[in-house]
Structure 1
């Protein structure tokens, strides 16, 4: 009996490894899939601001948001990630990347070396972007100053540091679908929906996550623990912000000031530095979409501390 069992077990193991290997192959976009294109630098600047690229990738503790030398520490339940250098520096940044390398990284989460990027890089949202916008973003970044200097390795413990396993995570939490406009909605609303759900990646912070780190779809935009550790990210659906008008949302994205007179702080203050650079039309579009989010019952925030800290 055992002689018959061993070959079956070995065969099952080989099949399992084969399926795992196949499922976790990093996806790429070939250069041949990118037709001739004249990039729009101005649109690339808009995408840069909508995506909040400088919030993570600008060198910390200096005022120039175009110096994308990286180094910002990004804490998470799975370890601490360090934003890489994405300046045009040919040695330490992405100066030697091809356009296909960049599009693949942003939309597929795959490095030029053919390995999975950790999903601290919000490609789960960027996957919904238009390829033309990603190409424009690449062209814009190439106009920024190169910044020398390497960034330290991520501090991610076993087993989360096994990049091949991220391929399984992608199967679970990436659908690979482009943004599809809603024909029943206005052009402004669709523009806002596109910016919020692709480059704006608002749901990445404003949604609770499961034990694997994937967004809980039923509570999308419902708030939850700050993915960087301390504090709570608010519910931004009409469950909590029903009193906000479209103008309130737009004004907040421009100034960081809340209708009740308070102002954004922490991570959101960094976001406002980017959205404040967008056009009034784009902020109005995002506001139109955000105001339309149906009420979602998110997780319950912890009680406020008596010392006034959240």
Structure 2
């Protein structure tokens, strides 16, 4: 009996591992090979919409275009460190091909064929248009090369097993591109594209489940700050219903709220990026955000007495 049981268990284990290996395989995009003149103005606009400098600029120095990385990003699964995405050929992405960059940003797959952790918001970026990422890549190559290798992520076992990210992607990343809503205006669709894609606003402004996937029914409804400190506000009409489109657009430019408060914490560098956008793109984002229906999110913790 035992002689028959052990081989059967080994076969079952081997089959299970084979299924796991197949399901978790990194999937790259089939990309166009036709030559195309990049639009650097568009690339710069998307650089600012995506807030690339917020994470990838070298911390504690004034130049937001020095993308040497190093910023620590806290999470329930460990601390991630934003990589160097400057054109440096040794420490940055100077030797990457256009296909390498697009697959990294839109599929979370490294040039070596491994999964990137979803601290990199490719779960939002995958909604965007490939040609927009081609423009962004061309713009990044015009920025200063910054030397310096960023330290490894501080992520404990078993969360440090990159292959498991393939299962996470199956659960929380559908791979479907942004689809314009024909019943809406071009301005609204542009705003929806920026907010959900390059702007990746939902990544911080939505609560997450125990696997750190966005809770779809509470998208944009706020929740605990992913880094564990503070609370990210609800930006549906439940949270900012009293704001007009102009209020929202002004906030995206200045960080000033209609009630007299100002953006703080991680939102301040985001505003610095959004302030560089065209007035039309900020208005488009405001149009879309104002249209979000009210959604109840998690209840913020009560402030301590005397805590301000």
- With normalisation by structure 2, the TM-score equals 0.98
1:11 is matched with 11
Output the CA distance in 2 between the equivalents of 1:150 and 1:307: 43
> What does 1:144-223 align with in structure 2 at a 5 Å threshold?
144-223=143-222
The CA deviation at 1:7 is 2.9
2:292 is matched with 293
**What do residues 18-47 of structure 1 show as CA deviations (whole Å, max 9, x unaligned)?**
11101111111355x332211100000000
Output the CA distance in 2 between the equivalents of 1:111 and 1:158: 21
| 1:75 counterpart SS class | strand
| 2:18 counterpart SS class | helix
Output the CA distance in 1 between the equivalents of 2:288 and 2:33: 31
1:89 is matched with 88
Unaligned runs of 5+ in 2: none
> What does 1:91-130 align with in structure 2 at a 5 Å threshold?
91-130=90-129
The CA deviation at 1:2 is 3.4
Output the CA distance in 2 between the equivalents of 1:152 and 1:306: 40
Q: Verify the 8 A CA contact 1:34 1:100 in the aligned structure 2.
A: no
The CA deviation at 1:240 is 1.6
Deviating more after overlay: 13-22 vs 188-197: 13-22
CA RMSD for the aligned pairs?
1.0
The CA deviation at 1:62 is 0.8
1:65 is matched with 64
Output the CA distance in 1 between the equivalents of 2:47 and 2:228: 26
| 2:205 counterpart SS class | coil
**What do residues 45-104 of structure 1 show as CA deviations (whole Å, max 9, x unaligned)?**
000000000000000111111000001011111101110000000011000000000000
Output the CA distance in 1 between the equivalents of 2:307 and 2:246: 29
| 1:94 counterpart SS class | coil
Unaligned runs of 5+ in 1: none
Output the CA distance in 2 between the equivalents of 1:147 and 1:174: 32
1:283 is matched with 282
Output the CA distance in 1 between the equivalents of 2:39 and 2:140: 12
Output the CA distance in 2 between the equivalents of 1:49 and 1:128: 17
2:248 is matched with 249
- With normalisation by structure 1, the TM-score equals 0.97
1:306 is matched with 305
| 2:74 counterpart SS class | strand
Q: How many residues align?
A: 308
> What does 1:28-47 align with in structure 2 at a 5 Å threshold?
28-30=28-30, 33-47=32-46
| 1:125 counterpart SS class | helix
